[in-house]
Structure formats: C-alpha cells, structure tokens
Structure 1
Amino acid sequence: MRHGTLGTGTALAVGTALACTLAMAPAAGAVTPDTATIGFDCGSYGSGTATLTATQDGTAATISLSTSAITAPLDVGAGAVNSTLTMTKNGSGTTTFSGSDNPAIPSGSAVSTGPLTGTVAAGDSLEATSLKVVVFGITATCKATSAQTPGPFVF
C-alpha cells in the first residue's frame, strides 16, 4: 500500500513541475490573419494578386509571398530573387521585410519569394504597400492596388 502512495505522489510532483516549467516558457507570438491577399501593379511587368503568409516568433517575423503580377521570363534558381516588401505600420509609419530566399521558379511561373524577414512588436498592424523584386539584375517595383484581404497582419 505504501508503495502505491509513493508512486502517486511522485507522479503528482513531476506533473506539477512540468506544468510550472511550461507556464514559465516564453510563448511564441501569433499573427492574425496568417494569410492574406492583395493586388499589385508592377508596371510593364504585369499586375495581379499576391498571397502573403506571415509567421511570428517573438519580435522576429517572416512573410512569404507569391504573386501572379510577375512571372519568371526564364528558369530562376533557388535563392536568386532579392525582394523587399514595404508595409504600412500601425497606419502611419512603414517597415520593411527583405530577403533573397526563394524556391526554384520555372519559366512562366508566378514569382515566389520568402521568407522575407523583419522585426515586429506586440500589437503591430502591418499592411503591404509596395514590393521590389530583383531577378537577374532587373528590378520590378510593384504598388498595391487594393487593401489587404481579410485585413492587415496583427502581431
């Protein structure tokens, strides 16, 4: 009988210690919505919609983007697209997300880029306003033509 009580007490102590450890662990941030769409006009390179996917880990955030506004004229190797996404921050300032990380893009396909990295603070509300994409030394600058749907990213 004593042996069973000792086992139950030990299990209870371990469970309590685990719960306390998890309660003290820093929580990863959450961004809502995690996916949004927006229209872009890229001048002579085209126009179309873009899908943006955001993630957050503390103050670090990433946004991946795929847009039909720009198509690859040739096969583009992984890591060959240099992109900067400018976003309105809290309705008044701006912040940028940038990077040169992309999957391989076959000729004629929509350009995908990201994850683009940036820094956020709790409560930041970000909405895309422009995108600059550099591929093979050629720069395409795109301006947002619609509001982000379903709304800005809130971190």
Structure 2
Amino acid sequence: MRHGKLGLASLLGVGIALAGTLAMAPASAAVTPDTATLSFDCGSYGSGSATLTATQSGTDATISVSTSAITSPLDIGANSVSSQLTLTKNGSDTVVFSGASNPAIPAGGAVSTGPLTGTVAAGDQLAGSSLQVVVFGITATCKATSPQAPGPFVF
C-alpha cells in the first residue's frame, strides 16, 4: 500500500502543477478584425470584391479568401486550387500566405481558397495587396484596387 499512496500523491502533485501552469499561460492571441474586405482586379479573369477571414494561434496564422473577382468556367474539385495571398506588413515589408485548400466550386461559382497559412509576429499589421490563384495550371494574378476595410489585420 505504501507504493500506492506514493503514486497517488505524485499524480496529485503533477495535476496541481499542470493546473497552475495552465492558469499562468497567456491567453490565445487573437487577430482583429477577424474579417475584412477589399477589391481585386484580376485582368482578363475579372474583378470584384473579396472577403478575407483571419485566425491566429501564436505565430501561426491562416487566412481564407472568398472572391467574386474570379469565377470558374468549370467545376473545380475540392483541394485543387493553389493560392498565394501577399499582404503588406507594417506598411513596407510583405508576407505571403499560401496553400492548396478549397471547397468544391461549381461552374460559374466564385473562387474560395484557404485556409492559406503564414507566420506572424505580435503587433504585425497586414493588409492584402495581391492574390495569385492557380487552377487547372492557369495562373490568375490579382492586384488589390481598394484599401482593406475596416483596416489591416493586427496580430
């Protein structure tokens, strides 16, 4: 029985230490705003508005893009669109979010892509500047034509 009591006491001590560590851990970081809009011009592929939705977990961030600037002439299967979203970082540098994830898109449907992944630091302010979408080996490059509203993402 002596070993059983020692094991229970050790387990209880580890549980208390773990609870104290969790209580002292910083709260999960949040990006504000979590949703923003801007307009893109994609040349011969079209133009229109885009909605960007951002999330953050520490230094990892994701942004999903839904835009009416590009529509698909054919059905597009899930996870077959490759995208890169370039954002202006703190007014001068850039950061790229990339990925190859998308829902199935019906013919004539607006392109949605993401989550696109990237790395951020505390205090980074990011605003969309360009979007590159590759579908069926064809690349559409879009340039932002309006400021991001309500403003840049702040991580």
TM-score by length of 2: 0.86
TM-aligned CA deviation for residue 17 of structure 1: 7.2
Correspondence for 1:144 = 144
**Which aligned runs of 4 or more in structure 1 are off by greater than 4 angstroms?**
16-19
Correspondence for 1:3 = none
Q: Which amino acid aligns with 1:29?
A: A
1:56-100 per-residue CA deviation (whole Å, 9 max, x = no partner) reads 000000000000000011000001000000000000100000000
Correspondence for 2:77 = 77
Name the % identity: 78
1:121-152 per-residue CA deviation (whole Å, 9 max, x = no partner) reads 00000000000000000000000000000000
Correspondence for 1:58 = 58
User: Which ranges of structure 2 fall in alignment gaps of 5 or more residues?
Assistant: 1-15
Greater alpha carbon shift after TM alignment, 47-56 vs 23-32: 23-32
Q: CA RMSD in A?
A: 1.4
Q: Are positions 1:27 and 2:27 aligned together?
A: yes
TM-score by length of 1: 0.86
TM-aligned CA deviation for residue 18 of structure 1: 8.2
Q: Which amino acid aligns with 2:79?
A: G
Residue 44 of structure 1: SS of its match in structure 2? Answer: helix
TM-aligned CA deviation for residue 29 of structure 1: 1.1
User: Which ranges of structure 1 fall in alignment gaps of 5 or more residues?
Assistant: 1-15
Task: Return the alpha-carbon distance in structure 1 between the equivalents of residues 131 and 40 of structure 2.
Answer: 8
Task: Return the alpha-carbon distance in structure 2 between the equivalents of residues 142 and 83 of structure 1.
Answer: 11
Matches within 5 A, 1:120-135: 120-135=120-135
